[in-house]
Amino acid sequence: MSKSNPILAGSAQSIEAYQQAIAQSSEAVAQWLQQPEMYQGKTVAELRERIQLDFNPQGLGNQAAIERAVEYFLQDSLAVHHPQCVAHLHCPSLVVSQAAEVLINATNQSMDSWDQSPSATIIEMKLVEWLRERVGYQPGDAGVFTSGGTQSNLMGLMLARDAFFARQGHSVQQDGLIGDLRKIKVFCSANAHFSVQKNMALLGFGYQCVTQVKTDERARMDLNDLAEKVAQAHANGEQIMAIVATAGTTDAGAIDPLRDIAQIAAQHQIWLHVDAAWGGALLLSEQYRHYLDGIELVDSITLDFHKQFFQTISCGAFLLKEARHYELMRYQAAYLNSEFDEAQGVPNLVSKSLQTTRRFDALKLWMGLEALGQQQYAEIIDHGITLSQQVAEYVNAQPTLELVMQPQLASVLFRSRPAQLADDAAVALLNQRIGDNLLESGQANVGVTEFNGVTCLKLTLLNPTVTLDDVKRLLDLVDSAAQGLANA
């Protein structure tokens, strides 16, 4: 080989190349973090034009490849840590999460079998036990880390489906779907995450099987409507395969009444899954843990650590109340999870996951808990919720702004409402354009969404370093953008 060996390994030459590449990358990140702009403001067309894949057949070497990544990727990245970057449930990350990524990536363990990730498998299993304890589940290790909320919701719905058919003596894993599928329904609130629909399509039922339950004035599942729709379904000869409750809806941060829903589900023997992708962070909260009252009663849970647990993407988990339900997705392969190994007590996580090769994302949560301690973790989680309440009060006091919804978690829904605009459609269009205008200017990324038919702006205030003053500055930007657009 004429070039240096490109593989990470134990030779002095490889280690030196590794350290150089990491130092160069980390230096570039340090520079980038100091840029004042949230985004450099390039448009879609500009980026398409700028980014060209003209690979050099001889290769450029590591150093030049990194330089080009800095120029074409890093410089035009969105600064998710910027105080005015608040459009989505997209968190700034913990420093220790970055260190964890170095270890995860360099070791490249794969979580499917113990012989590919010995210590990592045990750490992940113990973390699942720990998370179960926080939930209030029985001791055990039924659960697994996932790529995020969408996959965790898929696991919950898949096991709900298979348990539903198993009660009728049928194995979906063996024999596929049978019967009149149009008579089988899944219930969730109108504010549930769209992955419920997408996952039900994937599971063979189509969007049509999803019945949306009405929500109350705080965007939570309405219990009366749930009870009515359950009765109605039964009167129509339909069966309900699962209810998906949400703990922290993506816009309003609403938490469905878990204990009451669990009671209805138990009464009718319906699988209850809770999508706690966002609200699951309250498991660590000191002030707000009680919002999750009843979560210990549900059959399965989605948690997402790349939301308000401040981990880098990706990092999520799925928890299953009763380990026996994992039997529904059992598939043994001699090369990964053989009966021989299992009889000897060798753990393998492939049996608990939809993925085979899988990253050791659990290390990030483990190191986060070690570095911060439960107390500091609780503080940074609670910060966003408390700040959102203060921001709502401030918005209420501004003549040009209107609060659309009282905050429940760390989000504020509001809209700009300049006095000269009376027409509702014009107000809606204005708010839509404020969002685009701010991102184009590179100054701020504010969410635009619709709530109860009202087009509004959304601040997702996850960032624990953001203060009320930062948000006031952002609201000033919203005001100036609104004035500029209204007068244009």
Ligand X SMILES: *Cc1c(COP(=O)(O)O)cnc(C)c1O
Report, in Å, the least distance between residue 336 CB and ligand X.
Answer: 25
Helices 118-135 and 362-396: crossing angle in degrees, nearest 10, is 40
The least CB distance from residue 304 to ligand X, in Å, is 5
- Minimum Å gap between C-beta 302 and ligand X is 7
Task: Write phi, then psi, for 116 (nearest 5 degrees).
Answer: -110, 0
Q: Is 89 in the site for ligand X (CB under 6 A)?
A: yes
Q: Using CB under 6 A, which residues numbered 194 to 213 contact ligand X? A: 195
Among positions 143, 148, 253, 435, the unique one binding ligand X when judged by CB under 6 A:
148
Contact 440, 41 (CB under 8 A): yes
| Interacting residue with ligand X among 83, 92, 149, 156 (CB under 6 A) | 149
Read off the DSSP letter of residue 102: H
Cα separation, 250 vs 123, in Å, equals 30
Q: Examine residue 275 and tell whether it contacts ligand X (CB under 6 A).
A: yes
Q: Which stretch binds ligand X (CB under 6 A): 30-38, 39-47, 246-254, 410-418?
A: 246-254
Decide if 154 contacts 242 (C-beta within 8 A).
no
**Residue selected from 39, 165, 187, 278 as contacting ligand X according to rule CB under 6 A:** 278
CB atoms within 10 A of CB 296: 17
Count, residues near ligand X per rule CB under 6 A: 14
Q: Which stretch binds ligand X (CB under 6 A): 72-80, 244-252, 385-393, 467-475?
A: 244-252
Amino acid 246 reads T
Residue 72: DSSP 8-state: I
Stretch that binds ligand X, among 146-154, 157-165, 169-177, 223-231 (CB under 6 A): 146-154
Choosing from 93, 113, 117, 150, the residue that interacts with ligand X (CB under 6 A) is 150
* CA 11 to mean position of chain CA atoms: 39
Give whichever of 148 and 407 is closer to ligand X, judged by the CB atom: 148
Query: Which of positions 303-342 make contact with ligand X (CB under 6 A)?
Result: 304, 316
CA-to-CA distance for 92 and 68, rounded, in angstroms?
A: 24
Q: What is the CA radius of gyration of the chain?
A: 25
The residues, ordered by sequence, that sit 6+ positions from 166 with a Cβ below 8 Å of its Cβ are 172, 328
CB of 250 to ligand X, least distance (A): 4
Q: Does 246 bind ligand X (CB under 6 A)?
A: yes
Tell the smallest beta-carbon distance from residue 189 to ligand X (Å). 11
| Of 61-69, 77-85, 144-152, 172-180: span binding ligand X (CB under 6 A) | 144-152
| Cβ–Cβ < 8 Å for 148, 188 | no
In this structure, the number of other CB atoms found within 10 A of the CB of residue 75 comes to 14
Residues that bind ligand X in the complex, under the rule CB under 6 A: 89, 148-150, 193, 195, 246, 248, 250, 275, 277-278, 304, 316
